[in-house]
Amino acid sequence: MNTNPLARLVVLVGLALLLALAPTVPAHAQPARRSTPPLLKAPIWVYNDWSAYDELSDNVPLNETLAMRELDEILRLRKDGVRIDYYMMDAFWYDPDGGYRKWRAADWPQGPDRWLAALKANGIKPGLWFSTNTLTHMNAAPQWRDSLAENGSSMSLTHGGFLADFMDVLQYWYDRGIRMFKFDMADFDAIAAADKGKVTQQQARIANLRAFHAALVAFRQKNPDVVLIGFNGLVGDIQSEAAPVAWFDRRWLDVLDTIYSGDPRPSNVPEMNFWRSVDIYSDDMVRSMQQAGIPLKRIDSTSFMIGDTGTNYRRGAAAWQGSLLLMVAHGGWINTIHGSLEALDDTKAHWLAKVQALYDPLQRDGVTKGFGGIPGDAQPYGFGSVSHDGALYTVVNPSQRVRTVRLPQLAPQQPRLTDGRVLFRDAGFAPVLRNERIRLGPGQLALVGFGHYADAADDLGIEEDVSIPLSIRALNARFSPLPADAESVPPIETVLQPPAQGDLRIVLRQRDADGAMARSFGKYKNMGAFFTIGASQNGKPLPVAINYDKVIWSGLAWAVGEIRRSDIAPDEPIILRLLSQADDPSLHLEGQVFAVEYGNAAP
């Protein structure tokens, strides 16, 4: 917080001017008085079918067959003790010309009737996705056209017929049994073509925000059991941790049960295990939103996705346990499982049910807080949940070295952190727990229980998909740029002697002219060919094991690879050459090399 009196005065004056510039809007669009935030009565579990299908970064369509198959999977998981309260039907269920009142006939021959009836019969509440005021794979209904902006893709919320009709649509689906509404792709800068030049961009944005807020207040008052969740456009920049949420208007908490913190993607923190970097991204965004004033209970980290579509980089169920633990550890009251539930066999289902039972009382009645450093800065961090009789701490060491992390007291009456137990960890490095301190390997996650939760009955095992080295040591490797053409990023190269022991880990980072991590978006390209880690010895190439060789729609700013000791001749120098396919000469590469030892088996 800026404590400079002059700076604070400038900010206050600026806010006053901003409000003074706000246009006159109809009475129904005036902001409502602050009311009690519409919190859920208790945490809920939601199934969302996005990433079981994917019509944006893949070609797997949403249809009735897929939706009913996933419902059958929900019922199978229920037999194993898994709890699912809601089923969210995500994007593209609608007829492009139906104004959200019709479903795509070719994919839904009976419309939603069969799906809705089956959910009702099994006590599961349905939800629907809506593109708030933008035309996402659809055309403007006749009653929306006088609200259209000049770009033809978004609608004003204060001019023309769109907002009134949109709220009628929501009520229509509520009356059909829908109890959760997901608002995505909002554009509060939209100005109706008829108002172009009559209002400023600031005036339009303020008016649109007020109008939508007031409309949702009225909708909630009429339908008090509804659950409303906000996605893209309803919060600050969540496209990258390089541009975190800087502010949040708490009035949204009057009408939205949760705000999401961004789709899963690799963070700017390099990790040998790609999925751990994805974990770190979601953790970083949750912490950023918490710092912006959003309570953890109201943040939907949207971090758990399984399935084989492009939206989640064809993850399947790789390293799914750590991802699930972090989602529940965040403390959000909407816990969402995205994707292909058939990836969870009965053994996995029992594990999931055990985690749900373990965390449910802590989410309901406990205190959850984040602690430690900033995840995106590769500082050890975690999330702790505390009750009167015990605590659970999920802690991550995102750095490239072994670190000892102190677990803090999170509540005044919390019992002392003694006699704890490591309930879950990644394979490889065995964490060392001594009271409130835990020693973790590079890139490692662990779950620690204290008090009531330090019980062998709560053990959750080991994440075999993530292997952490037993030791890591930085090597003195100086990289030098190589000649490149004027449109390319210069490659870098180093020559080093092999270490006496261990494998080699090579880390590449791509930065901009200011030193910030710079993502490249090799659209439809495998990033394993975009960032290359080349190694040779005696003129012969050495195999480099990598885990980032995926088509990554969200971009990537790093690469990590390892050379196994068994492939290295002990006394011959190794040449390492790091290369980016980016066509931006203002970018530059950095390299680091480590000696790592895994014990009997490397990943």
* Average pLDDT score, the chain: 91
Pick from 571, 597, 599, 596: nearest CA to 498: 571
Distances (CA, A) of 320 to 306, 312, 327, 347: 7, 12, 11, 13
Q: What pTM does this model have?
A: 0.91
DSSP state of 436: T
3-class secondary structure, 528 = helix
Query: In this predicted structure, what is the pLDDT of residue 244?
Result: 53
Which residue bears the tokens 């929900």? 74
Query: For residue 90, what are its two tokens?
Result: 């995500």
Q: Which helix H or strand E contains 46, and what residues bound it?
A: strand 44-48
Mean pLDDT computed over 172-183 = 98
What are the tens digits of pLDDT across the range 533-582? Answer: 999 999 999 999 999 999 999 999 999 999 999 999 998 999 999 999 99
Whether the Cβ atoms of residue 335 and residue 364 lie closer than 8 Å to each other: no
Whether the Cβ atoms of residue 89 and residue 67 lie closer than 8 Å to each other: yes
DSSP string, 458-508: G--EEEEEEEE-SEEEE-----EE----TTSPPPEEEEEPPPSSSEEEEEE
Which residue bears the tokens 């006159």? 24
pLDDT at 19 over 60: no
- Rounded to whole angstroms, the Cα distance separating 408 from 381 reads 11
Q: Could you state, in order of their start, the residue ranges of all structural domains in the chain?
A: 371-468, 472-597
Q: Name the architecture of domain 371-468.
A: Sandwich (2.60)
Mean pLDDT computed over 268-285 = 97
Whether the Cβ atoms of residue 286 and residue 301 lie closer than 8 Å to each other: yes
pLDDT at 23 over 90: no
- Rounded to whole angstroms, the Cα distance separating 579 from 46 reads 42
Query: In this predicted structure, what is the pLDDT of residue 249?
Result: 76
3-class secondary structure, 395 = strand
Query: What's the burial of 578, exposed, middle or buried (CB within 10 Å: 0-12/13-18/19+)?
Result: buried
Whether the Cβ atoms of residue 589 and residue 492 lie closer than 8 Å to each other: yes
Spelled out in words, what is the top-level CATH class assigned to the domain 472-597?
A: mainly beta
Query: For residue 80, what are its two tokens?
Result: 């194993």
Which residue bears the tokens 């089956």? 118
Query: What's the burial of 415, exposed, middle or buried (CB within 10 Å: 0-12/13-18/19+)?
Result: middle
Quote the percentage of the chain above a pLDDT of 90: 83
Query: In this predicted structure, what is the pLDDT of residue 6?
Result: 31
What are the tens digits of pLDDT across the range 436-476? Answer: 999 999 999 999 999 999 999 999 999 999 999 999 999 99
Pick from 262, 311, 240: nearest CA to 556: 240
Query: In this predicted structure, what is the pLDDT of residue 484?
Result: 84
Mean pLDDT computed over 118-143 = 97
How many CB atoms lie under 10 A from the CB of residue 142? 11
Topology alike, domains 371-468 and 472-597: yes
3-class secondary structure, 268 = coil
* Residue/partner pairs of 413-417 with CB below 8 Å, 24 or more apart: 413/388, 414/386, 415/389, 415/390, 415/391, 415/450, 415/451, 417/391, 417/450
pLDDT at 408 over 50: yes
3-class secondary structure, 307 = strand
What are the tens digits of pLDDT across the range 332-344? Answer: 999 999 999 999 9
